[in-house]
Structure 1
Amino acid sequence: MVYERIKQHMMETLPLVRTLGIHIDSIGPGTAEVSMPDDSKLHNHLGTPHAGALFTLAETASGAAMAGGFAELIMGLRPVAKESRIQYQKVAKGATRASGRVPGDLAALKAQLAADGKIAFPVNVDIFDQEGTLAAQVTVDWYLSAKR
């Protein structure tokens, strides 16, 4: 299945994701679920998941959701994260997971990409800790264009 190929490709080409122990649990049409274990090597001075690790978790979820939204086209595209915003809500405790989703109409985004040869759009991500508490909300703006 195409989503499994995307997952495999991401895990093979993103060494930092592997280093942090991040796992892409699922990819769907414009959605993704990603998780990160609780590991003291990823903690901050408070003994909780470091902001940088949480951001990488969210960025991974956003990229997987973006790729899932353009699954049949993604291998011919050049995706670039253009801008990111993170709002921390609560201190995360323990293992974390991130849910990414492309808002809006995927068909309209694909039509715009076909017409213009490029597109920019946001992907929204919610990060939850092991207790299900919303720890952070992230938006990553992605830019897609054809590979050269």
Structure 2
Amino acid sequence: MASLNRLAGIVARINQLPAFARPRALSLFFGKAVPFTGTTGIRVESLDQGRCVISLANKRRVQNHIGGVHAVASLLLAESATGFLVGLNVPDDKVPVIKIAHAEYTRRAKGDMTVEARLTPEQQARMRTEDKGETSVAVTIHDSENQEPIEIEMVWAWTPKRR
């Protein structure tokens, strides 16, 4: 299958690397493509057309005043995972933009954070075929105790690129 866009083509080539090399290659690529994500130490664990998993170690540079991953760093994880996924599915003549980022912090997060974002085949098809639209991207955040300390809603839109 031909890639949908340049980003999908690059990710498809990275995904042909041996499994042990993929997270580092994906993380380096996205750290260069989206410099802010590179500064935080986000690690792209896996990425394909329907699913993205990224993680962030609870290190000093991303901590809050009580030693946990900062709330905004957690939101960046969710925005990054959903954005990478949407970016993989939106054709090159469209631009993805975050429309809504809603977070409810329900309990104190412990340790490292892992985020998983998913798109259904129907969402992927809409992004590929509709000139513009929006969709809520399913996303969950887990801490090192496998708890979900934050409930997140991320709504992404896509529109034609301006000429």
5+ residue gaps, structure 2: 1-7, 15-25
2:135 & 2:121 partners in 1: Cα distance? Answer: 10
Q: Report runs of 4+ in structure 1 exceeding 2 Å deviation.
A: 5-11
1:9 & 1:76 partners in 2: Cα distance? Answer: 21
- Pairing partner for 1:26 from 46, 71, 85: 46
Aligned length: 142
Q: CA deviation at 1:144?
A: 0.7
Bigger fraction of residues in strand: 1
Normalising by structure 2, what TM-score?
A: 0.76
Match of 2:157 in 1: 143
1:102 & 1:36 partners in 2: Cα distance? Answer: 21
CA RMSD of aligned residues (A): 2.3
Flag the 1:90–1:104 CA change in 2: closer, same or farther, 3 A: farther
Taking the TM superposition and a 5 Å limit, the aligned residue runs for 1:1-148 are 2=9, 4=11, 7=26, 10-68=30-88, 70=89, 73=91, 75-103=92-120, 105-106=122-123, 108-110=125-127, 113=130, 117-148=131-162
Greater relative contact order: 1 or 2 (C-alpha under 8 angstroms, separation 6 or more)?
A: 1
1:9-53 C-alpha deviation (Å, 9 max, x unpaired): 533221111111001111122321011111012111111111011
